[in-house]
Structure 1
Amino acid sequence: MGEPVSTDHDTEPVRAGDILAAAGFRPGAEPAQVEPKPFEPEPFDRIAFRTDQAAATLAARIPPMFADATPDHPQVAAWVRRFLANRHDFPSLVLVGPTGTGKTWLCWGAVRAVVEGVAARGEGLRWEATTHPALNAALRPSADNAHVGTLERLMHADLVFLDDLGAGKQTEWTGDGLLRLVDYRWSHRLPMIYSANAVGQPLINAVGDRINSRLGDAVKVALLGDDRRWRRRSA
């Protein structure tokens, strides 16, 4: 350090120390203290977070057959708009009609529209979806008591979609569980979306008059027509 550096030009010798000094380095000097910058987290975008969360949940839970479902029925779309305006103290939705008339499609479309609409406001929504036969299976007693957690989760969710009401074969146990679910949500004005093939006495025969009575103040949409599944197969 400090020795002349030879060059091929007729100029003053350049010293390494001069180069280091010009760069601000002083041999033996204490290193400069750099004040750390305070950590500034990026602003949290609640709407983006809820929107991404909703999209991931819907993609994972909606069956592929209904991945593109939309509430493309005037009465169902109106129910969705009312829900998004005030989801508290809100009536349930019942879609009735023969097999294959599009009830499940519209129900999943309503679920999607509600979940996406709530997320667009930066809010979360706890929702559950099952079929009546699957509910019966989930409510049967198990060694790990999973049936207790299933019923609690369905009772307290913000929205529940129960497909094919009346299609499940009832036992005394599963019938009691279904009544507890429907009665709790009706009593607490927690909305449900139902699909059913029949109303009136056929539905009473399937699920009992107590459950049928608690559907009395729901918004009802009747769908008519032939089985769309068969029409698609024959096209």
Structure 2
Amino acid sequence: MTATLSRDPQQPARITSRLGAILAQRGIAPNNAAQEPTPEPVTALELAEARIPARYRHALADHPQVTAWANAIARSGRPGPAGAPGIAEGPSLRIVGPTGTGKTHQAYGAVRILLAAGVRLRWEAVTAADLYARLRPRPGFDGERDLQTLMRCPLLLLDDLGAAKTSEWTEEVTYRLINHRYEHLRPTLITTNLPTEDLRTALGDRVSSRLSEMTECVILAGEDRRRPARAAA
């Protein structure tokens, strides 16, 4: 004879009821037992701060020309995903001044203004010296893709332009980068120690001519803030 196992159709309900009673005794609401708290939304500014160097993570742009530029770029963006503005076309900004006058601080502060305003943008930041090191030809590496990425990026921060040692190769790389962004009106933030006439000597006429036309120039003055203050005489 074969034994037949009977199944109680009410068993799952009784198990559920018993589990609910146990959870209730322990002060746990059954409906919320398996639910995890909803994470807080991460803002574009919070995401960007992970990419900004620690020293400039909370930079605040306070120069009127810098803040005016950032606000103008934010207003001119085309609507992107979920209606948030995105970077389209616009003017560029060149921040000039001696070493230690806060040029990079102001530039990252401008980026933070755009992100705080809700602008959704893809952006890159690189020093001129790192740019050349990154793209320098070497076996098994093709820097053309990286250069194209920087050319087409909606917003580029090019820091310390003119400070690196130059050659025919660096001049050509700089020309290709600046010329592409010049022709396509892509907003570019540039910091440099060199006024226009010295940039012409360092980078050539083709680059300096385009920078003069495509950028508004902001001049910072003052002493090197990185050095300890001199003791009073």
Which range, TM-score by smaller chain? 0.7 to 0.9
Q: Mark the runs of 5 or more structure 2 residues left unpaired by the alignment.
A: 1-6, 14-39, 78-87
Code of the residue aligned with 1:60 in structure 2: it is A
Q: Secondary structure at the match of 2:66?
A: helix
1:201 — aligned with what? 197
The separation in 1 between residues aligned to 2:142 and 2:116, in whole angstroms, is 29
Choose 1 or 2 for highest CA Rg.
Answer: 1
Code of the residue aligned with 1:112 in structure 2: it is R
Task: Among all aligned residue pairs of Structure 1 and Structure 2, give the percentage whose two residues are the same amino acid.
Answer: 41
What is the RMSD of the two structures over their aligned residues, measured on CA atoms? 2.4
* Equivalent residue for 1:214, pick from 210, 214, 224: 210
CA deviation map 1:30-75 (0-9, x unaligned) = x99xxxxxxxxxxxxxxx86x534412x222211111220111111
Give the TM-score of the pair, scaled to structure 2.
Answer: 0.73
* Equivalent residue for 2:125, pick from 117, 124, 129: 129
* Equivalent residue for 1:77, pick from 63, 67, 73: 67
Residue correspondence of structure 1 range 60-71 to structure 2 within 5 A = 60-71=50-61
Displacement of 1:178 after TM fit?
A: 1.1
Displacement of 1:142 after TM fit?
A: 2.9
Code of the residue aligned with 2:216 in structure 1: it is V
1:52 — aligned with what? 43
* Equivalent residue for 2:160, pick from 155, 164, 181: 164
Displacement of 1:89 after TM fit?
A: 3.0
Q: Mark the runs of 5 or more structure 1 residues left unpaired by the alignment.
A: 1-25, 33-47
The separation in 2 between residues aligned to 1:178 and 1:28, in whole angstroms, is 77
Code of the residue aligned with 1:110 in structure 2: it is A
Displacement of 1:234 after TM fit?
A: 7.0
